Amino acid sequence: MMTRPSYRLMSRLVSYDPQTGLFIRKARPAWMFTRHGHSGSRAHTAKYWNARYGNKPAFTSNSRGYMLGTFFGKKIKAHRAAWLLYYGEWPNDAIDHINGNPGDNRIANLRVVDQLTNQKNAKRPKNNTSGAVGLIILKGSGRWRAAIKVNYQEIHLGVFDRFEDAFRARKAAERKYGFHPNHGRAMP
């Protein structure tokens, strides 16, 4: 199996529109194919492949909403391919979807960040019951505990009588520790 495709090869395989974030498979010439079966020629294989896959979307959504595609047996994530096709090189770190939509691969919605920074732009987990990240109601007292996790360490922000006060403390901590303003948004 080959390593990930180069810019030159990827640009021959797909077209990318940085304004919409959409990818379309390009028709492939016969030389890109090996013969299949004893009666099939490269031209025949190319004609079949181009009729079935050419000029159609190059990536499909997985269960988490990320767009994935397979090229010469190698799985490629669309957001990484977008970076390659726009900037001419594979990203050297994580790619963050700024608006939190993993299917939105417009170049304006992508940024290269380290994994810790990427975690500072996360959606509110599905199992969150308080309506805000880092806030839990303390059973019995009805008070709100606020906390934030920074560099894998939990920081206690206080216990508050009102949800609004706990929420403000959490948001202040997010600003202090460099969280993205979108952090904790609701899941779509």
Q: What is d(CA 124, CA 132) in angstroms, rounded to the nearest whole number? A: 7
Long-range contacts of 25-29 (CB under 8 A, 24+ apart): 25/53, 25/54, 25/55, 25/56, 25/57, 25/58, 26/54, 26/55, 27/54, 27/55, 28/54
Place of tokens 């990818």: 23
- The residue with greater pLDDT, 180 or 155, is 155
Res. 1: pLDDT tops 60: no
**Hey, how many other C-beta atoms are within 10 angstroms of the C-beta on 60?**
11
Q: How many CA atoms lie within 13 A of 17 on its CB side?
A: 11
Instruction: Give the pLDDT band (50/70/90) at residue 2.
Output: low
CATH code: domain 7-117 is: 3.90.75.20
pLDDT (tens digit, 9 = 90+) per residue, 125-158? 888 888 888 999 999 899 999 999 998 899 999 9
pLDDT (tens digit, 9 = 90+) per residue, 31-55? 888 766 555 688 888 899 899 999 9
Place of tokens 């990827």: 10
**Is the model's pTM score more than 0.85?**
no
Instruction: Enumerate the domain spans of the chain.
Output: 7-117, 122-176
